[in-house]
Amino acid sequence: MWLLSFMAILVIDMNGQCVMCKAVAEDSAEDGGLGAGLNRGILYLMAVPYILLSALFFVIYRKHKSAAK
């Protein structure tokens, strides 16, 4: 129960930060400065977990395939 309460508090804080980032990105989107860099940073942070998970599943697949021989 404590863990669920703690996670709920974290989610509230994270939603507050997203609103601030969105406002900054919208204000500077015309300039192409901070908004473009913010978008690239978000894409970078989003891509890293997918790359790591893909590599992990590839290793598991190779081990499973070699064990089946």
Domain ranges in the chain? 2-68
With 60 as the cut, is the pLDDT of residue 37 above it? yes
Q: With cut-offs at 50, 70 and 90, classify the pLDDT of residue 10.
A: low
Mean pLDDT over each residue of the chain, to the nearest integer: 78
Q: Which of 20, 49, 25 lies closest to 39 in space, CA to CA?
A: 25
Verdict on whether the full-model pTM lies above 0.75: no
Residue 59's pLDDT is what?
97
Distance CA 21, CA 57 (A): 33
- Of residues 45 and 69, the one with the higher pLDDT is 45
